[in-house]
Structure 1
Amino acid sequence: MTSNLFALIDRMLHISNIEEEIRRGQEGFDPWVKIRLVLDKVNSSATRFYIPSRNISIDESMIGMKNRCVYIQFMPNKRHARFGIKKFEVCDSNGYVVHVRLYAGKDFDIHHDEGQAFGVVKELMTVSQLLNKGYHLHTDNFYTKLAAAQNNADRHSESEF
């Protein structure tokens, strides 16, 4: 494909309906409306067609970019991409991504009484349909909170989330 043809396709391709978009600051605004259809389709397909291995993990990752966008995050401890779009992922031990949630800043964050880390784990495990099914969840120290451990201990006698 020539670069001119790619540029022409890129100029004409639009995933979302511009007329249905809700403007920033209005009730019901979705910061990821332009890619929501594709993201939801990928997430639902992964949930429907893939059964993850017993060991799963939740962590954050970056899609590296430096363009001017309000959703660009700066994470100084990430070596490969310090600037970019932050995403939370549920992965299995084979390296397959089961579910992705894009982060758009604290205004659109998951609000939970127990804090952001607990809210992210709870929401990702629920929407990926892995909660209370005997999976072993591995997390780093950001997601390892007392509230999550107590919630888990209340539900099971084993260490399964």
Structure 2
Amino acid sequence: MTIGPARLDVVINYALPRTGIPAAVSFRKWVAAALAGRIREADLAIRIVDTKEGRSLNRHYRGKDYATNVLSFPADLPEGLPKGVKMPLLGDLVICAPVVAREAKEQKKALAAHYAHLTVHGVLHLLGWDHEDERDAECMEQLEREILASLGIADPY
């Protein structure tokens, strides 16, 4: 397995009962795999939410009135951090557990593998990757495949 960042601080917040949701150690492993060879230090937070909170955040930040599987909030603060504060803030991910569970079932995927994919996908967004056009989408999907394969997870596409 590829070695992750030299220093990684991932905070996981479960805003609903954890039944069926992977443990924090799994999310940290997936984040480390996504960052391996790309960034040396990172601080980020992952919040696992219900449909109501997921829908509210998607409506507020993206103008879309439905809960989506993962939202990425890069910490690209134009003003930077206060003087003297040195933190490698990468950003925040919000993962909507009911949407992930529904998609995994519909797509006949293992639930943990789908969480891994969406975590990797979200982290790549925090690093600036996007899929707004076909070329960018193909590049991002290939990178996701490679990262997931390093974790022993099959092609999600």
TM-score calculated relative to the size of structure 2: 0.30
Higher helix share: 2
Structure (1 or 2) with the larger CA radius of gyration: 1
Q: Whose RCO is larger (CA < 8 A, sep 6+)?
A: 2
